[in-house]
Amino acid sequence: MGYIRKLELPEPKGENFAKDLIEVLKRHGVEISDIINGGIRLHENIECTVVSTTTPGANVELAVAHTLRRVPTGFIVVNINKAAIIYDSGTTWTTAYIYIKCDQNNTTVKLLIF
């Protein structure tokens, strides 16, 4: 996915400035639209990480390592291999780990940590 290049505005001279400015803004609007319509990927557009893990047992705390280098604000269950509830264990999260529990044994889960 590409990045939008620096907005190059016309010099504010003469009668055609407004017309030239509108053309530049239209062109950049099309570029932005192409990027958005090409697909917004979470891992490319927000500061997050995806982690896969298996819970050790029912209601047993699990430390899940992440690479955000800051204390996360939450997580979303992206995929899970059985009917189960994943929840915050209550232990304070750190810049390296979040702490979760699961109400089922040996549950494989993929988390989006943000």
Average pLDDT, the chain: 86
State the pLDDT confidence band at 16, using cuts at 50, 70 and 90: confident
Digit-coded pLDDT (tens) for 42-79:
666 788 999 999 999 999 999 999 999 999 999 999 99
Beta strand extents in 1-114 (DSSP E only): 49-54, 62-65, 75-80, 86-88, 97-102, 108-113
What's the domain range around 5? 1-40
Examine the domain organization and report whether 32 and 49 are in the same domain. Answer: no
Examine the domain organization and report whether 86 and 48 are in the same domain. Answer: yes
Examine the domain organization and report whether 48 and 31 are in the same domain. Answer: no
Examine the domain organization and report whether 103 and 51 are in the same domain. Answer: yes
Q: What's the domain count of the chain?
A: 2
Examine the domain organization and report whether 80 and 53 are in the same domain. Answer: yes
Distance CA 53, CA 67 (A): 14
Structure tokens at 54: 């298996």
State the pLDDT confidence band at 19, using cuts at 50, 70 and 90: confident
Examine the domain organization and report whether 107 and 61 are in the same domain. Answer: yes
Per-residue pLDDT at 49: 94
Examine the domain organization and report whether 32 and 55 are in the same domain. Answer: no
Examine the domain organization and report whether 28 and 62 are in the same domain. Answer: no
pTM given for the model: 0.65
Examine the domain organization and report whether 35 and 83 are in the same domain. Answer: no
Examine the domain organization and report whether 51 and 86 are in the same domain. Answer: yes
Per-residue pLDDT at 44: 67
Examine the domain organization and report whether 94 and 106 are in the same domain. Answer: yes
Per-residue pLDDT at 1: 44
